[in-house]
């Protein structure tokens, strides 16, 4: 029996790691997205009840290592995990995908929060939001001179000046070109998620000369070991927990 790992997920990278884990390990999801049914490891869904709840869970379940592969904007669960590991004296490892960097021809407007987004999009009329569900809570606040398109995982009826597209990446440049042409957007709003799955929108914005309002990353707690790529995590896990890598869906 290898040392028991708790993998905190909710991203494509986390799912790739989860596919390599055997039945003694646990893959944890907040419960907002799809729950995979074809994994060898245990899957648990829902919050732990803050850092204290997570610390209790770690002790009760005899976890030996917490691996944080959550999204870089999921700052609360990362802070909780770091604190719970400190309390329980467990190692805290994190997969931290490198952020995208602006390329020649990019017109990025960097903002820190939702208020910054609203301010930055003021000059524009046709806005494409690609940063998750947050705009859904603000659909009653669409300024009269704007039309919003919100692409996220949730289906939602929208209204006359707000359309919601429920779609899940990866997205291709061809698909993004077709979407941008049809929507006639004059600004794109994005998080700096990094990775290839949702990068095509940046390429197409560059081609079309469209500005991108880029919400900056929140600060995340330091981890004992930080990895930039799934394969590096798998190699480290193999050494730590004796995890067999044959099941990886690369
Ligand atoms: P968050 O603000 O950091 O976390 C909110 C609460 O959700 C946490 O305090 C925790 O509840 C619970 N939670 C989050 N991730 C969990 C996990 N993997 N397992 C168990 N409980 C979890 O997170 P968020 O931004 O709402 O994101 C939620 C999930 O969606 C994360 O798993 C993240 O990886 C994924 N996701 C987020 C984004 C994004 O842009 N934020 C994008 C793609 C995917 P308790 O305090 O009760 O433990």
Q: How far apart are CA 104 and CA 127, in angstroms?
A: 23
Whether 55 and 92 map to the same domain: the answer is yes
Whether 123 and 210 map to the same domain: the answer is yes
Whether 116 and 207 map to the same domain: the answer is yes
Q: Does 242 contact ligand 1 (Cβ within 6 A)? A: no
pLDDT value of position 248? 47
Residue 43 covered by a domain:
yes
Q: Does 169 contact ligand 1 (Cβ within 6 A)? A: no
Residue 102 covered by a domain:
no
Whether 122 and 81 map to the same domain: the answer is no
Whether 211 and 119 map to the same domain: the answer is yes
Q: How far apart are CA 35 and CA 5, in angstroms?
A: 19
What pLDDT tens digit does each residue of the chain (250 aa) get? 579 999 999 999 999 999 999 999 999 999 877 889 999 999 999 999 999 999 999 999 999 999 999 999 999 999 999 999 999 999 999 999 999 999 999 999 999 999 999 999 999 999 999 999 999 999 999 999 999 999 999 999 999 999 999 999 999 999 999 999 999 999 999 999 999 999 999 999 999 999 999 999 999 999 999 999 999 999 999 998 777 554 444 3
Q: What does the chain come to in residues?
A: 250
Instruction: Retrieve residue 19's tokens.
Output: 């596919």
CATH number of domain containing 36? 3.40.50.720
Residue 246 covered by a domain:
no
Q: Does 57 contact ligand 1 (Cβ within 6 A)? A: no
pLDDT value of position 244? 59
Q: How far apart are CA 193 and CA 180, in angstroms?
A: 20
Among residues 214, 11, 224, 223, which one has the least CA distance to residue 108? Answer: 214
Distance 184 CA to ligand 1 centre (A): 33
pLDDT value of position 32? 79
Whether 114 and 80 map to the same domain: the answer is no
Q: How far apart are CA 34 and CA 26, in angstroms?
A: 16
- pTM score, two decimals? 0.92
- The total domain count for the chain is 2
Adjacency order of strands within the sheet including 212-215: 108-111, 212-215, 187-191, 126-130, 147-152, 162-166
Residue 57 covered by a domain:
yes
Whether 189 and 154 map to the same domain: the answer is yes
Residue 172 covered by a domain:
yes
Instruction: Retrieve residue 106's tokens.
Output: 């990019």
Label residue 202 exposed, middle or buried (CB < 10 Å: 0-12, 13-18, 19+).
Answer: buried
State yes or no: cis peptide before 210, omega within 30 of 0. no
- The answer for residues whose C-beta is within 8 angstroms of residue 29's C-beta and 6 or more apart is 9, 10, 35, 43, 44, 45, 46
Query: Cα angle at 55 between 53 and 59, to 5 degrees?
Result: 115
Residue 227 covered by a domain:
yes
pLDDT value of position 177? 98
Whether 210 and 130 map to the same domain: the answer is yes
Whether 73 and 151 map to the same domain: the answer is no
pLDDT value of position 121? 98
Among residues 169, 192, 221, which one has the least CA distance to residue 106? Answer: 192
Residue 189 covered by a domain:
yes
Whether 235 and 204 map to the same domain: the answer is no
Q: Does 130 contact ligand 1 (Cβ within 6 A)? A: no
Residue 248 covered by a domain:
no
Question: Range of 56's domain?
Answer: 5-97+219-241
């Amino acid at each position: 029996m290898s040392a028991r790992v708790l993998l905190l997920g909710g991203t494509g990278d986390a799912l790739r790691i989860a596919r390599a884990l055997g039945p003694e390990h646990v893959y944890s999801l907040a419960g907002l997205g799809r729950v995979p049914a074809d994994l060898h490891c245990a899957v648990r869904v829902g919050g732990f009840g803050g850092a204290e709840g997570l610390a209790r869970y770690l002790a009760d379940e005899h976890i030996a290592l917490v691996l944080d592969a959550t999204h870089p904007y999921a700052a609360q669960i990362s802070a909780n995990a770091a604190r719970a590991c400190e309390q329980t004296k467990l190692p805290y490892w994190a997969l931290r995908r490198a952020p995208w960097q602006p390329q020649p021809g990019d017109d990025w407007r960097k903002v820190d929060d939702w208020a910054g987004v609203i301010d930055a999009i003021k000059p524009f009329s046709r806005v494409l939001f690609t940063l998750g569900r947050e705009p859904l809570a603000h659909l009653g606040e669409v300024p009269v001179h704007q039309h919003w398109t919100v692409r996220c995982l949730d289906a939602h009826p929208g209204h006359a000046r707000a359309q919601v597209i429920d779609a899940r990446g990866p997205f291709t440049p061809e698909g993004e070109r077709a979407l941008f042409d049809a929507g006639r957007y004059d600004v794109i709003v994005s998080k700096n998620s990094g990775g290839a799955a949702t990068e095509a929108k940046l390429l197409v914005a560059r081609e079309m000369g469209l500005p991108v309002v880029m919400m900056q990353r929140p600060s995340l707690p330091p981890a004992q070991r930080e990895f930039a790529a799934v394969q590096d995590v798998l190699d480290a896990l193999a050494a730590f927990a004796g995890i067999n890598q044959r099941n990886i869906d690369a």
